[in-house]
Chain A
Amino acid sequence: MHPLRFQQCEIRLSDVYALKDINLEIAPGEHWVLLGANGSGKSALAAALVGEGQLVSGARSALPRSQLVSFEVQRALIEAEREKDDSDITDEVFIGTLAREVLAGGSPDITHQLVEAFGFSDKLNLGFRNLSTGETRKLLLIRAIAAEPELLVLDEPFDGLDVDATAQLVDQLLRLAQATPSPMTIVLVLNRLDELPDWVSHAALMVEGRIAHQGVIKEALPIIRQLLQMQRDDLVIPASELADRVPTLAPGPLVKLISGCVAYGDSVIFDKLDWQVNPGEHWQVVGPNGSGKTCLLNLITGDHPQCYVNDIRVVGYQRGQGESIWDLKQHMGYVSTALQWEYRVSISLANVIISGFYDSIGLYSKATENQQAIAMQWLELLGLSDRAHQPFNQCSYGDQRLLLIARAMVKHPQLLILDEPCLGLDEVNRQLVLSLIEIICASSETTVLYVNHHAGDRIKGIERVLNMVDYA
């Protein structure tokens, strides 16, 4: 490839967002990392590298053949599937594009090799929409690499991958980065400095849509680290409502699953899972991608329809005995990637937090003054108070995630279910969220169920571990 050069560029990514003063040169064989806080523009720059956005001013060299993997690409694919879903007019339930069809365009040899390496072969005939977050991510990585681009841009590639898949991706990238004679040029967007591979040669730090610092990794990194460093002391979680809107629960386990099973046709996700969660006992659920962690949590939240064919008791309700889903949800707070994809409404940041009191996506009830005051305290805590009235759907992925975490915590639920809560969060916000979870675990009101792939994200107070591998 030729060097990719941006000179004094302003690039408009949407009606409300633009990158400014972009000066950057990426030479063939260089490997870059883009760093920055949530909402700083690092994903925007990654998108601009593959030609997205409109060049308002400045000069840009010809674009190399490139591939981008990011949450936005993942989201766009899911959107496209939604568009293709004609079930509302055909009255037939939609299966969707198969995983193998998503991979159809790439080099067959490389595709085959990567499918094997990522252990993906038994997923190829599944509908794309039925894959878990981690599996979708693997699929997109395989597709991007198999397209043999000159420039490969990966926006938070490790987020959502299990330990094996992360190791596999690290190997694959090392091989591509060091291929002779012509290595692939790789740009990584990372939130976590502990994921930085040692073959990365250059770094850039984004701040408010501009490149704040860039250079050869050895010189740039110490400065960037310093710029990223922030201390968060004396965290206090805003109180819940005083009103006794939610009835108190009878004593007893919060969750009791007996011989739990989820299966689609002949394909069994997990089976014979006995699990009891008592109040005050916090759990971490671990297991590789596709092992059913999210399915299990959805049995508890009631979002998985097979909760009705399982022997499961949740917050005092034996499921399938005439209880309404809203009876259960009032006792639970919940965050997951699927929730973020479903939260497609243009309400304000403050109202997103308030919707946690009503367990709704969007807000259909008039908020009390107390609820509004609590929402403002949360926004303050998240550093978003000046944006309280902006629309949610114009926030960056990481900011949306922070808000949904606040939405889940806002009513101090008896059961707080956090399915990979830190996906998409930068270093600072990750620390913030982990600290918040720690405080909640230490309080006596809330019991936490937590899924996280990163060993480094262990939380003090979460002692019990459920390993899905035991139930495959």
Chain B
Amino acid sequence: MANYFNSLSLREQLAQLGKCEFMNPSEFADGANYLKGKKLVVVGCGAQGLNQGLNLRDSGLDVSYTLRASAIAEKRQSWKNATDNGFTVGTYDELIPTADLVLNLTPDKQHTAVVEEIVPLMKRDSCLAYSHGFNIVEEGMQVREDITVIMVAPKCPGTEVREEYKRGFGVPTLIAVHENNDPRGEGLALAKAYAAGTGGHKAGVLMSSFIAEVKSDLMGEQTILCGMLQTGSLLCFDKMVEQGVEAGYAAKLVQYGWETVTEALKHGGVTNMLDRLSNPAKIKSYDLAEELKVIMRPLYEKHMDDIMSGHFSQTMMEDWANDDVNLLGWRKETGESAFEKTAAADVEISDQEYFDHGVLMVAMVKAGVELAYETMVSAGIKEESAYYESLHETPLIANTIARKKLFEMNNTISDTAEYGCYLYNHACLPLLGDFMKTIDTDVIGRGLGLNDFSVDNQRLIEVNDDLRSHSVEKIGKVLRGYMGTMKKIV
């Protein structure tokens, strides 16, 4: 199979990359009606599969689950999940031929095998839905001509997809139609009904393309989301220990710090994250971020270029074929890092202290978010996509690090994210070597320790203006506004 993106002309590539617009709520007046009376069959019953299915059924749609015969015979967890919730469960042979819409919600890595197995069983003129486009775009999967291929991707974890639906709301959702596979021109109607069935239309739906989704998703996950947080964790921890900060404290500051500072990011963007700092610390953090952006920009550009050319997915798939030798080796290395092996101390760190003692961490998040966003936009990806794949998702990974640290974080994210994360990390650690020599515990570990918080007015105004006028802040404000009142969950 050949890389689909590379098979397109430049003109087509740019058109696909630049596709991403916020859909007007009035476009969803019909709700899930287009799928009423049709038969939906979900492949895979993990958290995404189960929770999307529960929502779709509560919206009046006919949903059942298909699992491999062995999973049914052995009554595996996926079988229990589906049957305890009152769903019909059957083998591929039993259910796929009856389906009008097949929802492929298995992990990326299984897509080729699963799709090759189910497509021959699918009935004529039916529809295949993905929640991630890697298989189509990077692996170049060719789906039978009569089948419509769409993507519906809720931009939140499965449990949240369900929780928000039950509240009477939803989560922001990205939809796309694969232009090669829209034989009856009904792809958009199907994708809209599917999104409405999960409740996504209440929180906002972005109309994008398979290509824009894949290229931006890969870029975000390997740079700011996983890569920057991994590299930042190792550098910040080692620096603190080297400067005599108690190791347990340093481990805790890093493990939970990302989560705390990006919570501010989630609610009010980069601006709000920096506004949580004192004025002198804000200026310091801003300056560090500027410096980091200059040093790291070529690395972000290299990642974007390798993603665009297909070089990234090609190397990764070679490693898949080679029994994941690189991936597993790197994973082991992460497990042996000093940060990973040091338990967080049982000390109280207040919400504010994470900011005050983590000025460098704030700078790293700012630099990473802005670089990922800027690089994506300059490569032709729309601002909306770039926002979701950089700023919006950073708190999710930060939360994972808080709960599981790096080794387990890498273990649980997708293989594409993990592979990209290691590439980034191995390049970024040496790249920041000289920069880290200039760093002391005032910006990581101990705080500025000032008695005098005065700053120069002009300088503060410049910094504040610059923060607020960045494009990621402007689009973020619009998109967060669409999501309704940001709900504080206690």
Taking Cβ atoms with an 8 Å cutoff, the residues of A that contact B are 83, 85-93, 264-265, 302-303, 305-309, 322-327, 342, 344-346, 358-362, 364, 393
Complex partner residue of B86 from A83, A91, A305, CB under 8 angstroms:
A305
C-alpha spacing A92/B81, complex, angstroms: 10
B284 in the interface, Cβ–Cβ < 8 Å? no
In the complex formed, the residue of A with least CB distance to B35 is A322
- B59 close to A325 (CB less than 8 A): yes
* A366 → B minimal CB distance (Å): 11
A-B contact pairs, 18 of them (CB 8 A): A83-B403, A87-B157, A87-B158, A88-B157, A88-B158, A91-B47, A91-B107, A264-B84, A305-B57, A307-B86, A326-B168, A327-B60, A358-B168, A360-B167, A361-B166, A362-B168, A364-B484, A393-B490
- A93 close to B47 (CB less than 8 A): yes
In the complex formed, the residue of A with least CB distance to B202 is A364
C-alpha spacing A85/B158, complex, angstroms: 12
The residues of B that contact A93 with a CB separation of less than 8 Å are 45-47, 50, 77, 81
* B451 → A minimal CB distance (Å): 27
The residues of B that contact A305 with a CB separation of less than 8 Å are 54, 57, 84-87
The residues of A that contact B242 with a CB separation of less than 8 Å are none
In the complex formed, the residue of A with least CB distance to B48 is A91
The residues of B that contact A83 with a CB separation of less than 8 Å are 403
Complex partner residue of A345 from B36, B160, B487, CB under 8 angstroms:
B487
- A89 close to B400 (CB less than 8 A): yes
C-alpha spacing A235/B490, complex, angstroms: 34
Complex partner residue of A346 from B58, B169, B202, B490, CB under 8 angstroms:
B490
In the complex formed, the residue of A with least CB distance to B160 is A88
- A344 close to B489 (CB less than 8 A): yes
* B28 → A minimal CB distance (Å): 13
B480 in the interface, Cβ–Cβ < 8 Å? no
- A306 close to B86 (CB less than 8 A): yes
The residues of B that contact A308 with a CB separation of less than 8 Å are 57, 86-87
Complex partner residue of B46 from A91, A325, A360, CB under 8 angstroms:
A91
The residues of B that contact A91 with a CB separation of less than 8 Å are 46-48, 107, 158
- A86 close to B489 (CB less than 8 A): no
B178 in the interface, Cβ–Cβ < 8 Å? no
The residues of A that contact B378 with a CB separation of less than 8 Å are none
In the complex formed, the residue of A with least CB distance to B106 is A91
- B412 close to A90 (CB less than 8 A): yes
Q: Beyond A87-B159, A322-B62, A360-B168, is A345–B412 a contact (Cβ under 8 Å)?
A: no
Q: Beyond A87-B158, A265-B80, is A324–B59 a contact (Cβ under 8 Å)?
A: yes
* B201 → A minimal CB distance (Å): 12
Nearest 4 CB-CB pairings of A with B: A88-B157, A360-B168, A91-B46, A361-B167
- A359 close to B168 (CB less than 8 A): yes
In the complex formed, the residue of A with least CB distance to B55 is A325
B488 in the interface, Cβ–Cβ < 8 Å? yes
B329 in the interface, Cβ–Cβ < 8 Å? no
Instruction: Return the CB mask of B190-213 against A: 1 if under 8 Å, else 0.
Output: 000000000000100000000000
B297 in the interface, Cβ–Cβ < 8 Å? no
* A468 → B minimal CB distance (Å): 20
* A78 → B minimal CB distance (Å): 13
Instruction: Return the CB mask of B162-180 against A: 1 if under 8 Å, else 0.
Output: 0100111100000000000
Report the number of A-B residue pairs with Cβ-Cβ less than 8 Å: 102
Please provide the chain B residues from 19 to 37 with a CB less than 8 Å away from any CB of chain A in the complex. 31-32, 36-37
Taking Cβ atoms with an 8 Å cutoff, the residues of B that contact A are 31-32, 36-37, 45-48, 50, 54, 57-62, 77, 80-81, 84-87, 107, 157-160, 163, 166-169, 202, 400, 403-404, 409, 412-413, 484, 487-490
- A361 close to B37 (CB less than 8 A): no
* A259 → B minimal CB distance (Å): 15
- A344 close to B86 (CB less than 8 A): no
In the complex formed, the residue of A with least CB distance to B36 is A322
C-alpha spacing A358/B37, complex, angstroms: 26
- B167 close to A362 (CB less than 8 A): yes
Complex partner residue of A306 from B60, B85, B160, CB under 8 angstroms:
B85
In the complex formed, the residue of A with least CB distance to B488 is A346
- B412 close to A302 (CB less than 8 A): no
The residues of B that contact A393 with a CB separation of less than 8 Å are 490
C-alpha spacing A309/B412, complex, angstroms: 34
Q: Beyond A93-B81, A360-B167, A361-B166, is A345–B489 a contact (Cβ under 8 Å)?
A: yes
A303-B166, A322-B61 known, 16 other contacts, Cβ within 8 Å: A87-B157, A88-B157, A88-B158, A88-B159, A90-B47, A91-B107, A265-B80, A302-B58, A305-B57, A322-B36, A322-B37, A324-B58, A360-B169, A362-B167, A362-B169, A364-B168
C-alpha spacing A261/B477, complex, angstroms: 49
C-alpha spacing A359/B85, complex, angstroms: 23
In the complex formed, the residue of A with least CB distance to B47 is A87
C-alpha spacing A364/B202, complex, angstroms: 9
- B86 close to A309 (CB less than 8 A): yes
The residues of B that contact A303 with a CB separation of less than 8 Å are 166
- A344 close to B490 (CB less than 8 A): yes
C-alpha spacing A85/B202, complex, angstroms: 26
The residues of B that contact A326 with a CB separation of less than 8 Å are 168
Complex partner residue of B413 from A89, A307, A327, A346, CB under 8 angstroms:
A89
* B340 → A minimal CB distance (Å): 17
The residues of B that contact A302 with a CB separation of less than 8 Å are 58
The residues of B that contact A306 with a CB separation of less than 8 Å are 85-86
The residues of A that contact B484 with a CB separation of less than 8 Å are 364
Q: Beyond A89-B412, A93-B81, A345-B489, is A322–B60 a contact (Cβ under 8 Å)?
A: yes
C-alpha spacing A90/B413, complex, angstroms: 8
In the complex formed, the residue of B with least CB distance to A304 is B86
C-alpha spacing A324/B197, complex, angstroms: 9
* A224 → B minimal CB distance (Å): 33
- A346 close to B487 (CB less than 8 A): yes
In the complex formed, the residue of A with least CB distance to B50 is A93
The residues of A that contact B159 with a CB separation of less than 8 Å are 85, 87-88
C-alpha spacing A361/B403, complex, angstroms: 27
- A323 close to B60 (CB less than 8 A): yes
In the complex formed, the residue of B with least CB distance to A308 is B86
C-alpha spacing A305/B54, complex, angstroms: 8
In the complex formed, the residue of A with least CB distance to B83 is A265
* B217 → A minimal CB distance (Å): 16
* A265 → B minimal CB distance (Å): 7
* B255 → A minimal CB distance (Å): 14
- A89 close to B202 (CB less than 8 A): no
Residue from the set B50, B60, B163 with the largest chain A CB neighbour count within 10 Å: B60
C-alpha spacing A346/B488, complex, angstroms: 6
In the complex formed, the residue of B with least CB distance to A363 is B485
- A86 close to B404 (CB less than 8 A): yes
C-alpha spacing A326/B61, complex, angstroms: 13
Residue from the set A85, A89, A361 with the largest chain B CB neighbour count within 10 Å: A89
C-alpha spacing A89/B413, complex, angstroms: 7
The residues of A that contact B158 with a CB separation of less than 8 Å are 87-88, 91
Q: Beyond A91-B46, A93-B50, A346-B487, is A265–B166 a contact (Cβ under 8 Å)?
A: no
* B65 → A minimal CB distance (Å): 12
- B488 close to A345 (CB less than 8 A): yes
The residues of A that contact B32 with a CB separation of less than 8 Å are 324
C-alpha spacing A303/B55, complex, angstroms: 11
C-alpha spacing A372/B351, complex, angstroms: 36
* B53 → A minimal CB distance (Å): 10
Complex partner residue of A364 from B50, B84, B169, B404, CB under 8 angstroms:
B169
- B58 close to A325 (CB less than 8 A): yes
Residue from the set A93, A265, A364 with the largest chain B CB neighbour count within 10 Å: A93
C-alpha spacing A175/B171, complex, angstroms: 53
* B319 → A minimal CB distance (Å): 22
- A89 close to B60 (CB less than 8 A): no
C-alpha spacing A306/B84, complex, angstroms: 8
* B203 → A minimal CB distance (Å): 9
* B64 → A minimal CB distance (Å): 11
The residues of B that contact A360 with a CB separation of less than 8 Å are 167-169
The residues of A that contact B77 with a CB separation of less than 8 Å are 92-93
* B8 → A minimal CB distance (Å): 31
